[in-house]
């Protein structure tokens, strides 16, 4: 495969593995901090196994390579983790995932402000349209009493955008070790707030193990490696798979039907993201053809 094809396989595989994550959080049915304790512990164990398998004796060197910048990214990852859990638990999965689909828009703004990257007009238009769709979802959430969960999901989108901006600034370094540290931080903070390690029942333990050991580690690793081979518009387009597949998992398994407002606002966000990604890809092809 070409490098481009490798990137597509890595990203699509990561998103497909991650797609039942929101469903598993609902099936665990624990509060935010209790879920975060076990989620962080198990994700760290799973990522640790993957890193040792990949690096072997060079695992310690991989951790040292991330430097202080990697620790900052780890802290942002931990904060995004709590915001994501709060969004999934306190609002509908459809609302949370569609709101978080705005992450590429926020990342574009942060890249312009922090990294001084130029942002084309089409991206600004997409930002306005996407935020309009989010406003529809949040307005519906206020009426349903789920505004807190919607705001948590929006906070998660902002934190993820900040994480992606930081990663873009250090793209030459493998930051999977930073993700592992972020998982440990998540677990430690949750442990302190919760006041101990919660004891799950048999069903909760099963879903926690599936989520923390089988879903999160490989999905995180694949989605960290994939963007090295793909342009930002392609990554944004592939990330939409979670927005589509996540609510479907929940709809099919626990019958949580998205509201018409959530579907309408979600349609605006999804169509906007697709149009922006396609437009960006066409612009890249025109630039490539001009060079040739």
Q: Quote the number of domains for the chain.
A: 1
Q: Tell me which residue range forms the domain holding 265.
A: 3-291
Structural contact between residues 37 and 187, judged by C-beta atoms closer than 8 angstroms = yes
Mean pLDDT by 10 residues, the chain (292 residues): 75 90 88 86 94 91 91 91 83 75 78 77 79 74 70 89 80 86 91 81 92 93 76 64 77 78 78 77 74 63
As a whole number of angstroms, the distance between CA 72 and CA 148 comes to 26
User: Per the structure block, which two tokens stand in for 36?
Assistant: 């975060």
The kind and range of the H/E element at 290 are: helix 260-291
What angle, 0 to 180 degrees and rounded to 10, lies between the N-to-C axes of helices 232-254 and 103-114? 150
As a whole number of angstroms, the distance between CA 117 and CA 111 comes to 6
Structural contact between residues 239 and 103, judged by C-beta atoms closer than 8 angstroms = yes
Give which of 278, 272, 259 is closest to 132, Cα–Cα.
272
Q: What is the pTM of this model?
A: 0.77
Which pLDDT score, from 0 to 100, does residue 193 have?
81
Which pLDDT score, from 0 to 100, does residue 61 have?
93
Neighbours of 56 (CB within 10 A): 8
Which pLDDT score, from 0 to 100, does residue 164 have?
78
As a whole number of angstroms, the distance between CA 54 and CA 190 comes to 29
Which pLDDT score, from 0 to 100, does residue 50 have?
92
């Amino acid at each position: 495969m070409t490098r481009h094809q490798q990137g597509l396989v890595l990203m699509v595989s990561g998103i497909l593995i991650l797609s039942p994550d929101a469903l598993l959080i609902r099936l665990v049915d624990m509060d935010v901090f209790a879920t975060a304790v076990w989620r962080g512990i198990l994700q760290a164990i799973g990522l640790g196994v993957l890193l040792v398998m990949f690096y072997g004796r060079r695992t310690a060197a991989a951790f040292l390579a991330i430097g202080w910048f990697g620790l900052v990214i780890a802290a942002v990852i931990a904060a995004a983790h709590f915001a994501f859990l709060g969004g999934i638990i306190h609002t509908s999965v459809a609302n949370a995932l569609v709101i978080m689909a705005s992450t590429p828009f926020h990342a574009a703004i942060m890249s312009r402000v922090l990294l001084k990257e130029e942002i084309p007009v089409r991206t600004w238009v997409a930002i306005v349209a996407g935020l309009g769709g989010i406003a529809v979802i949040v307005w519906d959430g206020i009426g349903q009493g789920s505004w807190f969960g919607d705001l948590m999901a929006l906070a998660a989108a902002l934190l993820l955008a900040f994480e992606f901006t930081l990663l873009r600034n250090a793209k030459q370094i493998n930051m999977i070790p930073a993700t592992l540290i972020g998982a440990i931080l998540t677990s430690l903070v949750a442990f302190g707030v919760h006041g101990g390690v919660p004891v799950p029942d048999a069903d909760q333990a099963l879903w926690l193990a599936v989520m923390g050991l089988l879903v999160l580690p490989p999905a995180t690793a694949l989605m960290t490696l994939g963007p090295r081979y793909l342009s930002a518009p392609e990554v944004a387009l592939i990330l939409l798979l979670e927005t589509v597949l996540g609510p479907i998992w929940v709809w099919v398994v626990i019958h949580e039907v998205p509201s018409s407002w959530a579907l309408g606002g979600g349609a605006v966000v999804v169509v906007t993201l697709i149009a922006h990604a396609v437009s960006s890809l066409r612009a890249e092809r025109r630039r490539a053809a001009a060079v040739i």
